[in-house]
Chain A
Amino acid sequence: MKKIMALGLSLALASSAFAQLSGNYSWGGSTTVGPIAQQALEQLQKDNPGFKASYELTGSGAGVKSLLAGQYSLAGSSAELSAEQAAAGAVATPIAMDGITVVVNRNIKLANISKADLAKVFHGEITNWKDLGGPNLKIVVVNRDEASGTYGSFYDIFMKSAYADKASAYTKNAIVTKENGEVAAKVASTPGSIGYVGMGFAGEVVKAGGRELKVDGVAPTVANVVAKKYAGSRYLYIVTKGAPASGSVEKAFIDFLLSAKGQAIVKSADFIPLPRK
């Protein structure tokens, strides 16, 4: 509690350094970036009574699509921009680091999974925990929908080398969820399930008795992600159409996220602040 108050106080002090923001904005995108963006907005709106912005949880792909279509003036993304998105004028600014964390239900007592086995599980090639040294129990795969940036980065990081065709890489025999939070809730409540989430959401599974898995023997800890020892390391981005213009609200939002106080929000949301240069 003290910590939160101290954080709030320092936020209030820091944000007074920014010029007053005003106007109404609708933003959205990655559900992984959601907690960071929403906490930052809450703070900015408190400090700037004339400023209102919303952040919708639509998924990275959907967010960038809406940005390019002009519905949003800013989007969150948990995946690197595709060549098409970049060519259409999207510009991504990294605001935090994340380790995609593999989570399992509490009835699976596994500690580690190899990258190759992980790809096979999500491809549907391994369908029973006994093949991984666990109990004789069917694996319930919890996947994300294709709008998800985490879906994209999980494929790029863990599956691409084994399955070159993205469309057929993931098994179709999987629960398809629309949010990180939904993955966490379903993995926590479904025996034999496995899923993946941004590291800020892994706590929810662990709280419900679930477990994080090491991948190739490396745990998704802050140190391992920063050192890029953990395979699932990636950046989270704020995306704008064109480079964020100086003096714009979008630029102010990004600057706030990159400030010490913004990075403190990143940390309080259980993601990793950008390493200081």
Chain B
Amino acid sequence: MKRRNYGEKLAEAALLGAALVSVLAVVFITVFLFRSGLPLFRKVSLGEFLFSTNWAPTAKEPHYGILSFIVGSFYVTGLALAIAVPVGLAVGIYLAELADKRASRFLRSAVELLAGIPSVIYGLFGIALIAPAVRNLAGGSGYSVLSAAVVLAIMTLPTIINVTEVSLRAVPRELKEGSLALGATHWQTITRVLVPAGRSGIIAGVILGMGRAIGETMAVLMVGGNAPIMPKGLGGMVRTLTMNIITDMSYATGDHLTSLFATGIVLFVFILALNIAVQLFLKRSISEVEGAANA
């Protein structure tokens, strides 16, 4: 008896330790990022950094304006979601409600495979197929906002599909049965009952996908064009926050290096905001499901 207690205590301590390591990692990264990036604002005003499009870090009179990259990040991410959300929703609904066992097993492993493909492979795929297609469609060089968005859309699909399916499956049976018993068709049940009931979970999934898209680096670097300018239309070249950091990181020194950490802070704040939003929606989703089950 006593022995088991010790064993349990040991396991508990080990788990606590593991949990602390991940918390500590977050704390260290945060402190490190802010300590390395904040000194920039002694030389450059926050306003100029965030709202100027003039990025010339190695000029004699250097300028550090990252507005183009902020806009680029959101432009690409927004467009990617506009493509991925309808498709992801459709697939998620199909998997949860319509597919028979064999089809859903096949489809699910395909989606899982999609999630496991390294981003550099998506980049190669983008260079070989998507960039030429976009060049024909939107003009320009093909290394553009649209190419980056399409690649990101494919990359965020697994997240959106999985969360949609899980959210729909989490809707209490009674709701579905009640709807069908009242004479609604299966399709009416899906669109009027299941999707609205799983809404918060689905939104959380979309925001999660958004987080993945905004943080993605390698794939967009390969197809975005990487010009440090404000993106002009769908066929225009784009540089996102992540691309800006990776392009300059290897050789930047002094204030230039600090400005890259500051770019990292901006990215960090965006991701943090997205994560808080996910938490809120998930909380709502859980209480909605519980509320519905108790009703």
**Residues of A with Cβ closer than 8 Å to B?**
58-59, 61-62, 65, 138, 140, 145-147, 165-168, 172-178, 185-186, 189-193
Contact = CB atoms under 8 A, between A and B. Distances in A.
Given A165-B60, A167-B56, A190 B251 contact: no
B229 A172 contact: yes
A139 to B, nearest CB: 10
Interface in B215-232: 221, 225-229
Contacts of B207: none
B226 A177 contact: yes
B228 A176 contact: yes
User: Quick one: which of A62, A146, A172 has the most chain B CB within 10 A?
Assistant: A172
Interface residues of B, number: 25
Nearest to A192: B141
B250 interface: yes
Contacts of B142: 190
Interface in B240-267: 247-248, 250-251, 253
Contact of A59 (B56, B59, B251, B253): B251
Contacts of A168: 56, 59
A177 B239 CA distance: 12
Contacts of B227: 172-176
Interface in B49-63: 56, 58-60
Given A172-B228, A176-B247, A177-B226, 11 more contacts: A58-B250, A59-B251, A65-B253, A140-B141, A145-B247, A146-B251, A165-B60, A173-B227, A174-B227, A175-B141, A190-B142
A173 B229 contact: yes
A192 to B, nearest CB: 8
Nearest to A142: B141
A192 B142 CA distance: 11
A174 to B, nearest CB: 6
Interface of B: 56, 58-60, 127, 131-132, 135, 140-143, 221, 225-229, 237, 239, 247-248, 250-251, 253
Contacts of B60: 165, 167
B58 A147 contact: no
Given A189-B132, A191-B135, A175 B248 contact: no
A176 B141 CA distance: 12
A193 B59 contact: no
4 shortest A-B CB distances, which residue pairs?
A: A167-B59, A62-B250, A147-B251, A176-B226
A145 B56 contact: no
Given A167-B56, A168-B56, A190 B247 contact: no
Contacts of A147: 248, 250-251
Contacts of B143: 175, 186, 190
Nearest to A168: B59
Nearest to A177: B226
A95 B135 CA distance: 41
A165 B59 contact: yes
A190 B250 contact: no
Contacts of B59: 165, 167-168
B251 A65 contact: yes
Given A175-B226, A177-B226, A185-B127, A193 B141 contact: yes
